[in-house]
């Protein structure tokens, strides 16, 4: 399995200031979704690494079952975006 390379996210943030200090950042919806996806991927990778580090050689989960779980998780996350 090879490493997939993603292109860097090109962000065009707008900064909102209060008393001369940056307080808020506004991103386009597409940019927000791209950042959110990357953060979710990073969280998934961290979870995977923690699971691998604590693997006790137990039964585990089959690939079809894991795909079903991930699809359900993705669907739930998409539902919360709307």
pTM above 0.85, yes or no: no
> What DSSP state is assigned to residue 54?
T
Q: Is the pLDDT of residue 40 over 60?
A: yes
Q: Are 11 and 35 in contact (CB under 8 A)?
A: yes
Angle formed at CA 17 by CA 12 and CA 19, multiple of 5 degrees: 165
pLDDT at position 6, please? 78
Structure-block tokens of residue 25: 């950042």
Q: What's the confidence (pLDDT) of residue 82? A: 57
Instruction: Please determine, for residue 28, whether its predicted confidence score (pLDDT) is greater than 70.
Output: yes
């Amino acid at each position: 399995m090879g490493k997939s390379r993603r292109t860097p996210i090109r962000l065009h943030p707008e900064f909102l200031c209060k008393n001369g200090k940056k307080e808020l950042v506004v991103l386009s919806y597409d940019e927000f979704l791209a950042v959110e996806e990357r953060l979710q991927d990073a969280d998934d990778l961290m979870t995977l690494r923690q699971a691998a580090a604590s693997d006790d050689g137990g039964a585990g989960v089959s690939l079809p079952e894991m795909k079903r779980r991930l699809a359900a998780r993705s669907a739930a996350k998409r539902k919360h975006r709307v």
